[in-house]
Structure 1
Amino acid sequence: MNTTISIFGCGWLGKPLAINLVNKGFLVKGSTTSKEKLKELQSNKIQPFLCTLKELPTNILEFLNAEILIVNIPSKNVAGFKNLISFIEKSNIQKVLFISSTSVFASAKEIITETTTLKNCPLKEIEELFQNNTHFKTTILRFAGLLGYQRKPGNWFKNGKIIPNPEGVVNMIHQDDCIEIIKQVIVQNCWNNTFNACADTHPKRRDFYTKSFLEVGREKPIFNENDEKSMKIIGNEKIKTTLKFKFKYPNLMQLPNQ
């Protein structure tokens, strides 16, 4: 019998992930907050559910009738996640993949790894809610800034907005690499683990955004030259070693202009 995977949050990352998993032979359920997108999910062979964290639907246990749950929503609603987990405990879910963010880390002089101390913030608390629960196995994936396809960095700073910290560095990851990492966690059965996921290179913000602006036909960006330099470099050695993962887009200055 094929493994059933439920994806809480079929947006920019969740929808192409769901389609990819369907094409690999998984049975996939997907949630959306938009009634208009239900038919779109269904047309891609994804069983659709209308669902928000704030108001879980009455058929939430039907959505959670799966072996694996991928939680892929940007909410920092701690109470909402506690409520969701109470339903997961009553369900057939055996494994949870929680999509987190490298924003849980503060700036630091040293390279940030999975053992680096986290900031005290709602996302840290939410990670711990999943990690400390003994009803299911959890893997935490902390993605750096997301880019690719519709998410073009050259479009991020509009209306003359000045870009801060030009001498700082960029930590980002392409959508294709995000999807492949998620698949490899599932296929390699790599649970009860935590990974930081970021491209290999960390170009200066000045260089990266100048190139990104030119790629979308905009004039060179304006930087805050008086902004204090803060540094954050996300290391990715653990994910490359543990999953034997090779990034499709390791160099952020050589991304395709999609």
Structure 2
Amino acid sequence: MTQRISILGCGWLGLTLAVKLIGKGYRVYGSNTSNVKVKELEAKGIIPFVIDINDNHINISDFLFSDILIIAIPSKNISAFKNLIKKVEKSEVCKVLFVSSTSVYPNTNGIVTEETVTNNSPLAHIENLFRTNAFFESTIIRFGGLFGYDRKPGNFIKSGKKIDNPEGFINFIHRDDCIGIIEQIITGNAWNNVLNACADSHPTRREFYLKESEKLGNSMVVFNEKSENNYKIVTSQKMKSLLNYEFKYPNLMNY
């Protein structure tokens, strides 16, 4: 029987992931919050659903008629996720992959691992709702800043705004690596884990954004030289060892 995967959030990451998984032979259900993209999802071979988790009364049982649920939405609505989890508990879903962020970690001015205490934040709270649930297996993947293709870091710089912490360090990851890592979590049955995922290199914000701005022909980059240069360096060693994963874009200064 073809394995079924539901992707909650077919946006910049989720849509490309869905297409990749279909190419691997999976049956993929994909959601968006608007009817506008339904035909686009269908055209790519995705079985489409319109789902807004803030709507507590929506029936998503058909969407959850699946083996694996991948959650790739930016919502930080704790009550909405509690309601979603109740529905997952009653479904056929037995494995959940929750796409999180390294923003859960405080700036420690040092290296952070999966054992580092997180901030007291809505995202960390939502992570814990999945980690402690006994009805399904779950893996939390904490991605660094996402970039690649049309998402160019040089465009992250707002005109006239100084960049803080110029001597702090970057924790970024290319979309191709995000998708490669998710694929290996699925094929390797790497469940019941919390994993960091950032490129191997961690250039300073100054050198990284100067390089990225030059790519776009922007020489007007201004740094806040008075900022405290607080930072964190997120290591992905646990993920690389567990999945035997090699980054496609390990060096952020050379891609």
TM-score band, normalised by the shorter chain? over 0.9
Q: 1:109 to 1:163 in 2, by over 3 A?
A: closer
Q: How does 1:34-49 map to 2 (within 5 A)?
A: 34-49=34-49
Separation of aligned partners in 1, 2:232 and 2:86: 35
Q: Which runs of 4+ in 1 moved over 4 A?
A: none
SS state at 1:60 partner: coil
Structure 1 residues 121 and 58, CA gap change in structure 2 (3 angstroms): closer
Q: Are 1:51 and 2:51 an aligned pair?
A: yes
Q: 1:33 offset after TM fit, Å?
A: 1.2
Q: Aligned equivalents of 1:206 and 1:3: distance in 2?
A: 45
Which position in structure 2 is the counterpart of 1:223?
223
Distance 1:249 1:21 in 2: 21
Offset at residue 86 of structure 1 (A): 0.5
Alignment of 1:121-140 (within 5 A): 121-140=121-140
Aligned equivalent of 2:208: 208
TM-align CA RMSD: 0.9
Which residue is 1:109 aligned to? 109
Deviation readout 1:95-118 (Å, 9 max, x if unpaired):
000000000000113310011111
Question: Does the CA-based 8 Å contact 1:10-1:18 persist in structure 2?
Answer: yes
Scaled by the length of structure 2, what TM-score is found? 0.98
What is the CA–CA distance in structure 2 between the aligned matches of 1:57 and 1:21, rounded to whole Å? 30
Conserved? CA contact 2:202–2:233, under 8 Å: yes
CA distance, structure 2, for counterparts of residue 153 and residue 191 of structure 1: 31
Tell me, which stretches of 5 or more residues in structure 2 are unaligned?
none
- How far residue 56 of structure 1 moved from its aligned partner, in angstroms, is 5.2
Question: In terms of mean alpha carbon deviation, does 212-221 or 100-109 score higher?
Answer: 212-221
How far off is 1:59 after superposition? 3.5
Secondary structure of the 1:225 match is coil
The TM-score normalised by the length of structure 1 is: 0.97
Cα distance in 2, alignment partners of residues 158 and 217 from structure 1: 15
The whole-number CA distance in structure 1 between the counterparts of 2:50 and 2:236 is 35
Superimposed CA distance per residue, residues 111-131 of structure 1 (whole angstroms, 9 cap, x where no aligned partner): 100111111111111011001
Deviation at 1:84, TM superposition (A): 0.2
Structure 1 spans left out of the alignment, 5+ residues: none
